[in-house]
């Protein structure tokens, strides 16, 4: 969280808030020239769309010129196009899933604004689940509890420091990721929490291809990506065969223990899941698997999995296996043990601050029932009418004619971007609200300029962060930028729906309204002052009752009175319901299923390196990639690719060389960075380098900046969740020879002179 400071001449700059002992530098250079230079300044229309009509020359998306148009005309054009599409094709031809993070601030939260707007005009096709934990959010309610409920009740760090002895972290606890919380973190607590645990003698084991996934002292067990389920099955094999499993816990709190045992011992498929079996799959030596299992069976053990473990082919199985393992150890519901599925993903996970549902703008209700699993956007656009499985049901993809996005960047977040370019050509019209000329903005038909958090008043709040902040506007919006609220207000006015959208309130009146609503909803939990007093104070501490949080504490104390919401009320190590779906890619219990791509697959003959694309340390996804802080992490302007020296030397690659990263789906350039702290055979490119194809007109051109999503697979984790599998990806890397193409990701698009465009335009 930042604060505004002014120099003697009154010039503002952003500094970290003093109350934070470990502040994040991301975001402090939002006022820099580099950032401001890429602002969208005026409503901008793709020239061919404006001159020739909706749907014209869609292959020019990304390279066409833009024409800037005054707001009154822009509102009319957008309203007219929405009316056309709704009248001709119905509201279920509008995709408003509009996935993404957007800025901090509860009122100007772009996702709430766009969904409220689309509901006000009759509804839209939504996207379900998330890229973050799509597989987890579909499987966890079947076996334990909904993902959000679990994340909210992670045993807090203080309790862990007091009780935990052994912390086994699959995917580590990377501090770089705990810079964030959706809504905005306040005090960055995780570094201190880990220090405190170490001071109390807690042992950390980092099971990950990357040593730095735990900063500071930890044992490192390098593992092949995507193979964790095999390792966990072998740990279970040791626990079961050495009688270290807690049978009482299994019979009182779980269903399916017998099925697990039969599978682990090889009675179901003839393959005993021994440490030797797992060692061949995972690369972890058998003796270390045996030692770890014994340590886990004899210590107060917390088992944690990062979200990356399920952002994979068959990602559901990893989470099911984690819960199965923790159930066999039998410490779920106790203060020092159990499982976590998110320590080290966000600052808020493991917080002991109060859980409160924050101020929010109602989104209204959506009369359109059709949805898509969020990561299936390209399938939906490419194959309207095709049927898909999802969580036990069968559904049909809608026929999308118009895509509306605010607060997300699909050319950042989606997989197999070359395929996505083809999908993006299907809709007749694409409307984007953006602050910056990102790749998604450049590839839209209509780009409406959004103001930034520094240009509007808002309320900063995130559950379990212990604070509420009056985010006071620093300056007027740049050029013609407007808040998403004012943009939607203008469009609804032209459509005769303004009342439905604004309910007659201004943005400032809404702030007070959502604050007072929040205050009243939570009076029993916390005493808060009236809105004016809050706004005057600038920052409220939301007092913590200092009560430890222990996941599943009540369930453990009395499972009959406090059953889980699963069909049996218990932890389901075997799920009759999932088994009844009959999915070959998601059977009824945690099962080792080979990922589509991994180091054990035959495809390694052509593409021998496993590429991981983790969260970036210097930005939030693609946000502020153009900032000096993010750019200083690049090498010669390109995103680094981390390689083990063995893999680099074998390919004649030295530190700092520009390399071509490729597979059958595409290729990108990146700068080699060598590190022995990465398992050989694995490569890493952080996500978020702005997509920068050599030629937008092609669907296989070289990406110049280091965006890993040109090579990732766009396939579902399984029929159960249809979630993204960004982490299951094989590539090869070679030294780039030839003339290096310049990075153009941070160039503005081309603009047509306004008069020429308009004089020829039949529409204006």
Per annotation, catalytic residue among 17, 49, 71, 101 = 101
Contact code string over 703-722 relative to Mo ion, x by CB under 5 A: --------------------
Q: Which of 208, 370, 463, 591 binds ligand MGD (CB under 6 A)?
A: 208
Q: Alpha-carbon dihedral of residues 490, 491, 496, 497, nearest 10 degrees?
A: -90
Report how many residues bind ligand MGD under the rule CB under 6 A.
61
CA distance 511 to 361: 9
Assess 154 for contact with ligand MGD (CB under 6 A): no
Window contacting ligand MGD (CB under 6 A); options: 41-49, 270-278, 433-441, 554-562: 433-441
Per annotation, catalytic residue among 17, 49, 71, 99 = 99
Assess 612 for contact with ligand MGD (CB under 6 A): yes
CA distance 553 to 538: 36
CA distance 546 to 553: 16
CA distance 735 to 503: 59
Assess 449 for contact with ligand MGD (CB under 6 A): no
CB of 525 to ligand MGD, least distance (A): 27
> How distant, in Å, are the alpha carbons of 60, 94, 228, 663, 741 from that of 421?
11, 18, 33, 17, 21
Beta strand residue intervals within 273-356, DSSP E:
301-305, 338-340
Beta strand residue intervals within 50-147, DSSP E:
66-68, 94-95, 126-128
CB of 616 to ligand MGD, least distance (A): 5
Q: Which of 274, 306, 366, 630 binds ligand MGD (CB under 6 A)?
A: 306
Q: Let me know if 510 is a catalytic residue.
A: no
Assess 311 for contact with ligand MGD (CB under 6 A): yes
Q: Which of ligand MGD, Mo ion, none does 497 bind, CB closer than 5 to 8 A by kind?
A: none
Considering only residues 470 through 489, tell me which ones interact with ligand MGD, judged by CB under 6 A. Answer: 484
Q: Which of 93, 274, 366, 614 binds ligand MGD (CB under 6 A)?
A: 614
Burial of 387 (0-12, 13-18, 19+ CB in 10 A): exposed
Nearest residue to 482 (alpha-carbon basis) of 500, 507, 502: 507
Q: Which of 27, 616, 666, 693 binds ligand MGD (CB under 6 A)?
A: 616
Assess 165 for contact with ligand MGD (CB under 6 A): no
Nearer to ligand MGD, 218 or 757 (CB): 218
Q: Which of 727, 730, 731, 757 binds ligand MGD (CB under 6 A)?
A: 727
> Radius of gyration over alpha carbons of the chain, in Å?
26
Assess 709 for contact with ligand MGD (CB under 6 A): yes
Nearer to ligand MGD, 551 or 726 (CB): 726
Q: Which residues pair with 3 in a beta bridge?
A: 15
CB of 132 to Mo ion, least distance (A): 3
CB of 715 to ligand MGD, least distance (A): 13
Taking each helix axis from N to C terminus, what angle separates 228-241 and 315-329, rounded to the nearest 10 degrees? 20
Q: Which of 623, 627, 630, 673 binds ligand MGD (CB under 6 A)?
A: 623
CB of 268 to ligand MGD, least distance (A): 24
Q: Which of 408, 477, 587, 640 binds ligand MGD (CB under 6 A)?
A: 408
Assess 210 for contact with ligand MGD (CB under 6 A): yes
CA distance 120 to 140: 33
Contact code string over 517-546 relative to ligand MGD, x by CB under 6 A: ------------------------------
> How many helical (H) and strand (E) elements, i.e. helices and strands, does the chain have?
27, 28
Q: Which of ligand MGD, Mo ion, none does 413 bind, CB closer than 5 to 8 A by kind?
A: ligand MGD
Considering only residues 488 through 517, tell me which ones interact with ligand MGD, judged by CB under 6 A. Answer: none
Nearer to ligand MGD, 309 or 586 (CB): 309
Q: Which residues pair with 465 in a beta bridge?
A: none
Q: Which residues pair with 390 in a beta bridge?
A: 393
Q: Which of ligand MGD, Mo ion, none does 621 bind, CB closer than 5 to 8 A by kind?
A: ligand MGD
Is residue 13 classed as helix, strand or coil in its secondary structure? strand
Assess 177 for contact with ligand MGD (CB under 6 A): yes
CA distance 445 to 64: 9
Contact code string over 89-128 relative to ligand MGD, x by CB under 6 A: -----------xxxx----x-x------------------
Burial of 645 (0-12, 13-18, 19+ CB in 10 A): middle
Window contacting ligand MGD (CB under 6 A); options: 61-69, 116-124, 308-316, 746-754: 308-316
CB of 690 to Mo ion, least distance (A): 18
CA distance 727 to 724: 9
CB of 39 to ligand MGD, least distance (A): 10
Residues 6+ apart with CB under 8 A from 181: 346, 347, 348, 462, 464, 465
Is residue 522 classed as helix, strand or coil in its secondary structure? coil
Burial of 117 (0-12, 13-18, 19+ CB in 10 A): buried
Q: Which of Mo ion, ligand MGD, none does 237 bind, CB closer than 5 to 8 A by kind?
A: none
Is residue 571 classed as helix, strand or coil in its secondary structure? strand
Nearer to ligand MGD, 193 or 620 (CB): 620
CA distance 305 to 173: 9
Assess 309 for contact with ligand MGD (CB under 6 A): yes
Assess 132 for contact with Mo ion (CB under 5 A): yes
Q: Which of Mo ion, ligand MGD, none does 426 bind, CB closer than 5 to 8 A by kind?
A: none
Q: Let me know if 99 is a catalytic residue.
A: yes
Please, what is the Cα angle at 209 between 679 and 654, to 5 degrees? 40
Assess 615 for contact with ligand MGD (CB under 6 A): yes
CA distance 359 to 361: 7
DSSP of 385-442, one letter per residue? T-EEEETTEEEE-----EEEEES--HHHHSS-HHHHHHHHTSSSEEEEEESB--HHHH
Tokens of 442: 């450049």
Nearer to ligand MGD, 213 or 553 (CB): 213
Nearer to Mo ion, 306 or 439 (CB): 306
CB of 615 to Mo ion, least distance (A): 8
Contact residues for ligand MGD (CB under 6 A)? 100-103, 108, 110, 131-132, 170-172, 174, 176-177, 179-180, 207-210, 213, 223, 225-226, 228, 306-309, 311, 345-346, 406-409, 412-413, 433-436, 438, 450, 484, 612-617, 620-623, 687, 708-709, 712, 726-727
Q: Which residues are designated catalytic?
A: 99, 101
Contact residues for Mo ion (CB under 5 A)? 132
């Amino acid at each position: 969280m930042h604060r505004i400071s002014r120099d003697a001449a009154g010039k503002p700059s952003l500094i970290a808030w003093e109350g934070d002992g470990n502040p994040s530098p991301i975001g402090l250079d939002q006022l820099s020239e580099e950032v401001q230079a890429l602002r969208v300044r005026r409503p901008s229309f793709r020239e061919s769309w404006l001159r020739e009509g909706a749907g014209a020359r869609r292959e020019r998306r990304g390279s066409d010129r833009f024409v800037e148009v005054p707001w009154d005309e822009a509102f009319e054009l957008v309203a007219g196009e929405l009316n056309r599409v709704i009248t001709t094709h119905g509201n279920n031809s509008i995709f408003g899933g509009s996935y993404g993070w957007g800025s901090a601030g509860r009122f100007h939260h772009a996702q709430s604004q766009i969904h409220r707007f689309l509901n006000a005009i009759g509804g839209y096709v939504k996207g379900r689940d998330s890229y973050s934990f799509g597989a987890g959010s579909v499987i966890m309610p079947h076996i334990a509890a909904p993902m959000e409920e679990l994340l909210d009740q992670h045993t807090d760090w203080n309790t862990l420091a007091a009780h935990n002895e052994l912390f086994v972290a699959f995917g580590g606890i990377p501090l770089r990721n705990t810079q964030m919380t959706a809504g905005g973190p306040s005090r960055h607590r995780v570094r201190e929490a880990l220090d405190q645990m170490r001071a109390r003698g807690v042992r950390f084991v980092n099971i990950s291809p990357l040593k730095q996934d735990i900063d500071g002292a930890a044992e490192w067990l390098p593992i092949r990506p995507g193979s964790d389920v095999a390792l966990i099955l072998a740990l279970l094999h040791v626990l079961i065969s050495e009688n270290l499993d807690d049978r009482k816990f299994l019979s009182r709190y779980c269903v399916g223990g017998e099925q697990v045992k039969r599978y682990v011992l090889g009675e179901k498929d003839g393959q005993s899941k021994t440490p030797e079996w797992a060692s061949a799959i995972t690369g972890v030596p058998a003796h270390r698997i045996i030692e770890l299992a014994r340590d886990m069976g004899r210590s107060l053990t917390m088992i944690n999995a990062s979200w990356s473990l399920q952002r994979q082919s068959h990602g559901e199985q990893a989470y099911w296996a984690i819960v199965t393992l923790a159930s066999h150890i039998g410490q779920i519901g106790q203060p020092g043990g159990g499982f976590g599925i998110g320590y080290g993903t966000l600052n808020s996970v493991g917080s002991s601050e109060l859980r409160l549902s924050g101020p929010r703008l109602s989104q209204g209700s959506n009369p359109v029932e059709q949805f898509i699993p969020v990561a299936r956007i390209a399938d939906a656009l490419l194959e309207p009418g095709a049927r898909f499985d999802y969580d036990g049901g069968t559904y049909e993809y809608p026929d999308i004619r118009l895509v509306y996005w605010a607060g997300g960047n699909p050319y950042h977040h989606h997989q197999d971007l070359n395929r996505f370019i083809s999908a993006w050509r299907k809709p007749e019209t694409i409307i984007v609200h953006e602050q910056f000329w990102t790749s998604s903005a450049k590839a839209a038909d209509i780009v409406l300029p959004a103001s930034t958090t520094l240009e509007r008043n808002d309320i900063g709040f995130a559950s379990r962060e212990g604070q509420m902040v009056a985010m006071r506007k620093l300056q007027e919006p740049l050029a013609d930028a407007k808040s998403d609220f004012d943009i939607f207000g203008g469009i609804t006015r032209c459509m005769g729906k303004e009342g439905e959208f604004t309910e007659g309130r201004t943005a400032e009146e809404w702030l007070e309204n959502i604050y007072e609503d929040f205050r009243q909803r939570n009076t029993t939990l916390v005493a808060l002052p009236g809105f004016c007093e809050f706004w005057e104070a600038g920052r409220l501490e939301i007092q913590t009752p200092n009560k430890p949080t222990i996941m599943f504490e009540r369930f453990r104390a009395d499972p009959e009175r406090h059953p889980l919401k699963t069909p049996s009320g218990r932890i389901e190590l075997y799920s009759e319901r999932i088994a009844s779906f009959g999915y070959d890619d998601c059977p009824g219990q945690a099962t080792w299923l080979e990922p589509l791509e991994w180091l054990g697959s035959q495809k390694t003959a052509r593409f021998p390196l496993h590429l991981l694309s983790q969260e970036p340390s210097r930005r939030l996804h693609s946000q502020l990639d153009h900032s000096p802080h993010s750019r200083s992490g690049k090498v010669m302007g390109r995103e680094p690719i981390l390689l083990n020296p063995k893999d680099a030397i074998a390919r004649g690659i030295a530190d700092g060389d520009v390399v071509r990263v490729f597979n059958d789906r595409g290729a990108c350039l990146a700068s080699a960075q060598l590190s022995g702290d990465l398992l050989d055979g694995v490569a890493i490119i952080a996500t978020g380098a702005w997509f920068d194809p050599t030629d937008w007109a092609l669907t296989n051109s070289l990406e110049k900046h280091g965006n890993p999503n040109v090579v990732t697979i766009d396939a579902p984790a399984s029929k159960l969740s249809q979630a993204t599998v960004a982490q299951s990806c094989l590539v090869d890397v070679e030294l780039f020879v030839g003339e290096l193409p310049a990075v153009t990701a941070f160039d503005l698009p081309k603009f047509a002179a306004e008069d020429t465009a308009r004089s020829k335009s039949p529409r204006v």
